Structure formats: structure tokens, C-alpha cells
Amino acid sequence: MTIQDWTQNTEGLAYQACPACSAVWYFRRTFCPCCGDGAPQQRQAGGRGTVHALTLITRAPSEELRAFAPYVIALVDTDEGFRVMAHAEQDLRIGERVQCRFARIADRLVPRFEKTTS
């Protein structure tokens, strides 16, 4: 199965896991940052998680992003055990359960979390 990964312009959240020490992490590498093992696995995340932190950006960093402001940036703890930064719908609260969807912001595919009941 091909792993879908928004950083490769396909709709999905990918992460890595170490078969040797069971560590999981988000930022792609060719080795495990915990034990140094050289064969980490690419995995597909389900997209569910819990909101860890939130900010509403009013002052966007560039002209192309100003059209989208204000927008929410969140840190979400996924059920698989890694943390992800993403866009999110407004009026979320810390601790709330969310599901990852995808959106185009300033012509880029980005993850965007929305409320879910599960």
C-alpha cells in the first residue's frame, strides 16, 4: 500500500516507527532518533487525535496567507502517539477529539483538524 503523505502532496498523515525499540515519531528520517536503528517503518496514521495546543493567527506572515487570516494552528496528539502541527477549525478547545481532513491553503495541501465525536 502506498503511504499517503501531505508533505508529498497526497492526502494523508504519515509517520515513522522503529521495529527495534517501538519508538514512533513524525519528522521523516532514515534512522530511529531514539536508538539509532537504520530501518524505520513508514506508516499511515488514522488521523484521529486530541488537541494539545491552539493559536489563532491574525497577523499572517505573507501576502498570500493574509487572504486566509485569521486561521487556527493546532498541535494535535494523534492516537498513534506522535504530535502534529496543522490547521484546525475555529472554536476548538484543548483536550477536544479531532479528525484530520485536508485543505488547500495558499495553493498548498495542508492537514486541517475538525471536531469529531469518536
Partner 1 sequence: MSYITGIGLTPYGKHPGKSTLDLMSEAASAALADAQLTRKEVDGLICGYSTTFPHLMLSTVFVEHFGLDPVYAHGMQMGGATGFGMVMLAHHLIEAGVARNILVVAGENRLTGQTRDAAVQTLAQIGHPVYEVPLGPTIPAYYGLVASRYMHEFGTTEEDLAELAVLMRRHASMHPGAQFRDLVSVADVLASKPVAAPLKLLDCCPVSDGGAAFLISRERVNDFAVRIRGTGQAHTHQHVTAAPSLTQFGAAASMERAKSAAGVTNGDVRYLAIYDSFTITLTILLEELGLAPRGQAGGRARAGHFSHEGERPLNTHGGLLSYGHCGCGGAMAHLVETHLQMTGRAGARQVKDASVAMLHGDGGVLSSHVSLILARD
Chain residues in the site for partner 1 (CB under 8 A): 7, 25-28, 52-63, 65, 68, 70-71, 73-75, 83-87, 94-95, 105-106, 108, 110
Residues with Cβ within 8 Å of 61's Cβ and at least 6 positions away in sequence, in order, are none
User: Least distance to partner 1 from the beta carbon of 75, Å?
Assistant: 6
Helix, strand or coil, per DSSP, at residue 64: helix
- In order of 14, 30, 74, the CA distances from 114 in angstroms are 18, 31, 11
Question: Nearest CA to 45 among 93, 79, 73?
Answer: 79
User: Least distance to partner 1 from the beta carbon of 110, Å?
Assistant: 6
- Nearest to partner 1 of 37, 77 (CB atom): 77
User: Least distance to partner 1 from the beta carbon of 18, Å?
Assistant: 16
- Nearest to partner 1 of 43, 52 (CB atom): 52
